[in-house]
Amino acid sequence: MKNDRVNFGSKLGVILASAGSAVGLGNIWRFPYEAGQHGGAAFILIYLVCVFVLGMPIMISEFLIGRRSRANTAGAYKVLAPHSPWRWVGFMGVLAGFLILSYYSVVAGWTLEYILEAGVNGFAHKSATDFKSAFIAFSQNPVRPLVWLIGFLLMTHYVIVKGVKKGIERFSKVMMPLLFILILILVFCSLSLPGSNKGVEFLLHPDFSKVNSEVFLGAMGQAFFSLSLGMGCLCTYASYFSKDTNLSRTAFSVGVIDTFIAILAGLIIFPAAFSVGISPDAGPSLIFITLPNVFQQAFIGAPVLSYIFSLMFYILLALAALTSTISMHEVVTAFIHEEFDISRTAAARWVTGGCIVLGIFCSLSLGILQHIKLFGLGFFDLFDFVTAKIMLPLGGMFISLFTGWYLDRKLVEDEVTNGGTLKVPFLKLYIFILKYIAPIAIALIFINELGLLS
Ligand code: PFF
């Protein structure tokens, strides 16, 4: 196994690269539509509990597994638990990464189309209905989305081949703060639209009568997806962390940044959706229909501003997606490179090629391959369901069992406290959650969804 590993160059770089993986389409595209389909505020509350009770400890675990082993996610289990079946947790993670990357890149490709549209001022003078029909026509087109999909995967490929420090870190440092500022501006724009208060209410007033097993599964899946957890992504990144990185503090920063951005995205989308009368449960098309509208309506007297902001927004959205696709690609590339002993570039080529093929099927399943269904779902929805709602939480469950029960307690404490040099106030609670709460809670949510609890 190769171990000529580079490190991230700075503390800020570590946080921003990890946050760059976490913050992406999951926050701005997937969170609002999942929240919208599951009733809004109640879903968000359950989501928050999942992030902070399950997500944080599991993130620290991924960090410590990665940094301790300094290997790709499957290799990590071989180092820490030689000759044991634990390596299958790593394999499942790599497979999940590969599948997510395939359908995620389809949506990431859509953002490129919207950059072009914003760039040629194509949103001007259009109404909500125009945006809706334009999106449907585009996403069902058999060629255009494929071109963008391939383009996006090639961009990801390029950064991966350039390497960790130069590519990922430098990139995240500029992009993340910019994205944050623009999102704040958009929240103000959206809140200023007429009738936006209904959207705020939808976000803030929980209606628990709508909570069922699907809401729990959806919120848990979204938490894992959004935090990039359960598939060894942060484990792979942590293998590039240095010895003095504070794992628990980094996890907390990433969790807070990620959650904050998701809530802000909700504060952009829902007020805007209610303002123009688009149903919050419109599904994956939600942001692509509501957002162009926000730009048009919020700056009615100043078309230049709507032009600049919409263009900037889609560029930043594409970049946020890129820092996430890079992280997924890295999981699979590092695995192939280290386990099969082929060069990084060749490994990256296999990953990019494979994802292009699967991605094409996912994209076409929204249009000309609509009639092909497996378990009642098209490829795109199937990939999303199987990964976010099954593989990631299952991965998270095994990661918590591995850290809580298998790994030596001393090793765990040693990693989290950096050899006793850091005071970590919640260490005992953290281990308790990993041993009992997280595995039991995840198992219960699965069992509940199967209908065995009612
Ligand atoms: N967390 C990313 C997002 O919210 O867009 C998606 C993601 C990245 C999921 C990396 C899983 C992963 F390993």
Which pLDDT value is given to residue 375?
Answer: 92
Is residue 201 domain-resident? Answer: yes
User: What is the C-alpha to C-alpha distance for residues 201 and 280, in angstroms, rounded to an integer?
Assistant: 12
Compute, in angstroms, the gap from residue 328 CA to the centroid of ligand 1.
7
pTM, rounded to two decimals: 0.93
Which pLDDT value is given to residue 306?
Answer: 86
Is residue 164 domain-resident? Answer: yes
Is residue 399 domain-resident? Answer: yes
Is residue 454 domain-resident? Answer: no
Non-local CB neighbours of 182 within 8 Å, separated by 6+ positions: 309, 312, 313, 316
Q: Using a 6 Å CB cutoff, which residues line ligand 1? A: 21-22, 24-27, 97, 100, 225-226, 228, 231, 233, 324, 327-328
User: Which atom of ligand 1 approaches the CA of 325 most closely?
Assistant: 8
Which pLDDT value is given to residue 182?
Answer: 86
Domain that holds residue 193: 11-449
Which pLDDT value is given to residue 275?
Answer: 86
Q: Check: CB of residue 388 under 8 Å from CB of residue 224.
A: yes
Which pLDDT value is given to residue 167?
Answer: 60
Report, in angstroms and rounded to the nearest whole number, the Rg of the chain calculated over CA atoms: 21
Q: Check: CB of residue 260 under 8 Å from CB of residue 249.
A: no
Which pLDDT value is given to residue 41?
Answer: 95
Amino acid type, 292: P
Is residue 254 domain-resident? Answer: yes
The residues of the chain scoring below 50 in pLDDT are 1-3
Residue with the smallest CA separation from ligand 1 atom 7 is 228
User: What is the C-alpha to C-alpha distance for residues 332 and 262, in angstroms, rounded to an integer?
Assistant: 26
**Total of domains in the chain:** 1
Helical spans, DSSP H, in 192-343? 197-204, 213-226, 233-238, 247-276, 286-298, 303-339
26 DSSP assignment: I
Compute, in angstroms, the gap from residue 124 CA to the centroid of ligand 1.
32
Sign of CA dihedral 393, 399, 401, 403: negative
Choose the residue to mutate in 50, 98, 172, 225 for probing ligand 1, maximizing ligand atoms within 8 Å of C-beta.
Answer: 225
Is residue 3 domain-resident? Answer: no
**Apex 387 CA angle, 229 and 151, nearest 5:** 90
The SS3 of residue 377 is: strand
Burial of residue 308 (number of CB atoms within 10 Å: 0-12, 13-18, 19+):
middle
Compute, in angstroms, the gap from residue 135 CA to the centroid of ligand 1.
24
Q: Residues for the chain: how many in total?
A: 454
User: What is the C-alpha to C-alpha distance for residues 450 and 149, in angstroms, rounded to an integer?
Assistant: 34
Which pLDDT value is given to residue 1?
Answer: 43
User: Which atom of ligand 1 approaches the CA of 25 most closely?
Assistant: 5
What are the two backbone dihedrals, phi and then psi, of residue 26, each rounded to the nearest 5 degrees? -55, -40
Can you give the CATH number for the domain in which 403 is found?
Answer: 1.10.4160
Compute, in angstroms, the gap from residue 97 CA to the centroid of ligand 1.
9
Question: Taking phi first (over 0 means left), then psi (-120 to 50 degrees means alpha), and beta for anything else, what does residue 71 get?
Answer: beta
Which pLDDT value is given to residue 207?
Answer: 87
